[in-house]
Amino acid sequence: MDGSAAALAALRWSATKARLLRAPLVVVHAWQPTAVLRAPYAPAAGRRTPEQEQACAAATLEEAVAELLDADADVDFVPLLDCGPAERVLLWHTSDALLLALGRKPFRDVTGPALGAVARVCLRYAVCPVVTVPEPRSPGEQARPRPAPKTTAGLRRA
């Protein structure tokens, strides 16, 4: 759960499935201190402390859970804040899961991958089914028309 529109769409979808299956919903937010990702010579000014980053991650999880309660108060859920790379954290929590639901951005660029790095790793290594839920289209965004399928045999009017 990273707080993105795609992640919230996956959370709403998961809540519906959890209610239908009468299963608890585990909402996982993975975070890691950014200091380990920076070069040792990078300036320290303006960096958040690991405690501040953890508090920010906890706030993101709380906001998602609050939205879940507003949308679907009938679901039993467990919020989990876990430190580590998202792929590792999510795969760890799939060991006893019925499924893993991930949000995904809309597929707009035909030259790039359809899924992000985290989703690709989870699809490859998860021990449970993985579902990707697209983020909802923005109100002003139009659906792109799809080209007509090319066929080798066609019908002709008489």
For the cut 60, the answer to whether the pLDDT of residue 156 exceeds it is: no
Kindly state the average pLDDT of the residues 37-41. 69
3-state secondary structure of 61: helix
Q: Are 27 and 62 in contact (CB under 8 A)?
A: no
Kindly state the average pLDDT of the residues 43-62. 85
pLDDT at residue 85, rounded to an integer: 93
3-state secondary structure of 122: helix
**Which domains are present in the chain?**
5-39+47-134 (3.40.50.620)
The Cα 57–Cα 10 span in angstroms is: 18
Q: Are 59 and 45 in contact (CB under 8 A)?
A: no
- Extract the tokens encoding 158: 């008489």
In this prediction the pTM is 0.75
For the cut 90, the answer to whether the pLDDT of residue 120 exceeds it is: yes
The Cα 5–Cα 148 span in angstroms is: 30
Kindly state the average pLDDT of the residues 116-140. 87
Comparison of pLDDT for 72 and 53, the residue scoring more: 53
pLDDT at residue 140, rounded to an integer: 52
